[in-house]
Chains A and B, each alone.
Chain A
Amino acid sequence: MWSLTRSDAPSDEPVLIVDERVTGATESVLEAGVVLGMPRREAEALAPFATVLPRDLGDETRRFEPVVALVEELVPRVEVVAPGLMFVPVVGAVKFYGGEEALAERIDKELSSSAGEFSEKTPTCPSRTGVGRIQSRVPYLMGIADGPFAARWAAATASPGVPHIVTDTISFLSRLDMGTLRESMGGEEMIDTFRWLGVNTLGDLARLPRETLASRFGTPGVLAHRLATGEDRMVDPRDIPPELGVELAFEEPLESLEAVAFAGRNLAEKLLRKLRPLGLAPHTVTISAGAAAGLARTRVWRSADPFTERALTDRIWWQLRAWVETAGVPGGISSLSIVPSDLSGEGRQLNLLTDESSAIEAERALARAQALLGPDGVLQARAQGGRMPTERVSWSRWGEPESPVERDTDAPWPGATPSPAPALVPPTPDLIEVEWEGGLPTRMRLGSRWEPVLTWSGPWRLSGRWWAGESDADRYQLVTSVGAFLCVVVNGRTYLAGVYD
């Protein structure tokens, strides 16, 4: 585990790095009670003085890349799980270096000697949930244990710069809290149920009969029991036929990030299309890039869940961006290849009530549409509270984390425009002409014609926030022979706010 830095963070101010939860923070923010992994809102309340920056996984990968490259020079085929966290298979390396302690010492020596080159003069932000504070000159935590799960938590419980070598993995695991399963396999509800039943540690879980867990929780229960008993190994180790890999060669080496991103997306799509008919999904992929200058770069990425097309595209993009921006591929990329390993049959597992294959195809189609239109062309919406139709929808780009809802949907919202909602809502209200007689609407102008108002309802008063310079407004539903309209009258002028189409 490596502590990453942010170049765009102000050097003398407290900083909070967030996505939905806190992923990094400076010392002063941690001292205010913020804990890594804490929900964003809670952290912002505890440290209102901190500058909040959104997490940039691509940038984190770029910064992590030199660390990975250094370790890979000592031990081949490291597996990158996420920026800041990698697994190193040590079986062969232990024999070569003469033991686990000697290997850890060697890695520590290399990382310590290069730590100054990697770190920049910016606040250090521990990047992994549960890692704790890092105050060493060496911004990493190292753990050695049987299996990736145990090694990950060995690292999390290590002291900075002092490797935690676990000699009795089962005993070590038995002391871990149930919450440690969350990162590896999700299953929030199952973990809560375990706690409710008084099963609070992995040791408690390991003592339960596996058959009982299988009948109560199904596959997730068995997986949890395997992790608790130290049986965490490769999902389905077997030889991967080389023809399952995919490769692209380019006559003109790719140097621009846009071209690289496009190529990466194509390659991910090609690989998964190849695996899908076989009912296979990869948990680990080896991404290789050939540089025009003759150099070849390789990196292994791993995921607990099988890679989806989007997840794989993201990993490829982060990796290629890291190589391009750190001049890792001099002269540009002349070839790209992805070879899957750790294949599982997850691709075959279809839900009875939903069409998973449709969802995958739709995802690909939407990704293409997004490539044509740009990220703001494909959107998803969520309900939020509000009085006007435009306020009641929270938009976010498709494929990106949902933006936080600004207004509570469960709040009463007195004075909200009554349902049904207008099907057409202009992004900003349009000025229209409406004639009034004695305060009652008589006709409205639609294009070149005046249409008589057959009937109407309202007005509903909307009190503006006077302190923000907003005026009061009245809303009317006007019905004409061609349809019904939602209008807003502000300062004597009428605006179209919706069409009941």
Chain B
Amino acid sequence: MAEETRLLKGNEAIAHAAIRYGADGYFGYPITPQSEIMETLMDEQPWETTGMVVLQAESEVAAINMVYGGAGCGKKCMTSSSSPGISLKQEGISYLAGTELPALIVNVMRGGPGLGTIQPGQADYFQAVKGGGHGDYRVLTLAPASAQEMADHVALGFDLAFKYRNPAMILADGLIGQLMEKVTLAPQKPRRTEAEIRKECPWAALGKPADRAPNIHTSLELDPTVCEQHNLRFQAKYKAAEENEQRYEELCCEDAEYLIVAFGAAARISQKVVETARKEGVKVGLFRPITLWPYPITRLNTYKNKVKGILTVELNAGQMIEDVKLAVECKVPVAFCGRMGGSIPTPQEVYDALKELSLRV
């Protein structure tokens, strides 16, 4: 398949991108608003073309453990779900981190808590970037804000996961998942052969040749001193990711007096606010984190003495705002504008919040 531009939902873009990236396996369980990912994969039947395995599991728990099994063999495996299903996957994500296995998890967030709603939300921010499962671990977290980025982040997510031997997550929301936009899909990449996997991932459990020790994937270590050594290794890896992988996009930030910080659907709404405000002469810029972990602290920090105030816009009660405050060391006022439970703020609501902030500072 050559490069191709199509009109796709964000969810569909993920499915097509996974096939074209040369992913080895997808394991999932239906849940709104992301079911199009597995539906598209089943419709495309990639097992007939690239050999990619697609399987509908009996639960989210089984699906993430299938991903864990495939990851242990050095295969590029992914799963997708939405908020309640992602909660069920947390044990598996902790095991992936604890065994240092790479995998891609997609969360197309809906409003919560509990069953919540099927409308878009961003209330799983804390869960994604602060841990989620048990133990000291981090998940490389990407926040797409367009159908194009849904496709692009599949490749980026897998690449980062294998670079750091750590789970990566695409933290999208129901709006970005359902949004239909023009998407340019990359040309088909071949799936790696077993010989290539053995070379690139010498840790892969693909059967033990006579000339090497067994490859064993386990997160169990009863000796606390050894277990701590493992943790120190993980932390060093996370530090390297924090130093090398901070990603963001800036819109009209050069001369900005006010900054809006938002990701995903909230960033799309905020983009409109920047346009409106600029027309009215208000110098506002949009800072959009693309990696939520590692958070783009280094760049955001440079605004602490440049802008008069920062408005954080989220589809939750205010979660990322804590990282924004840390990034600017609370040296500039940081206000919040958000809606919860599947509701989305209008550009006018955000603009009003911005004006209110400007009157305060």
| A, B bound | no
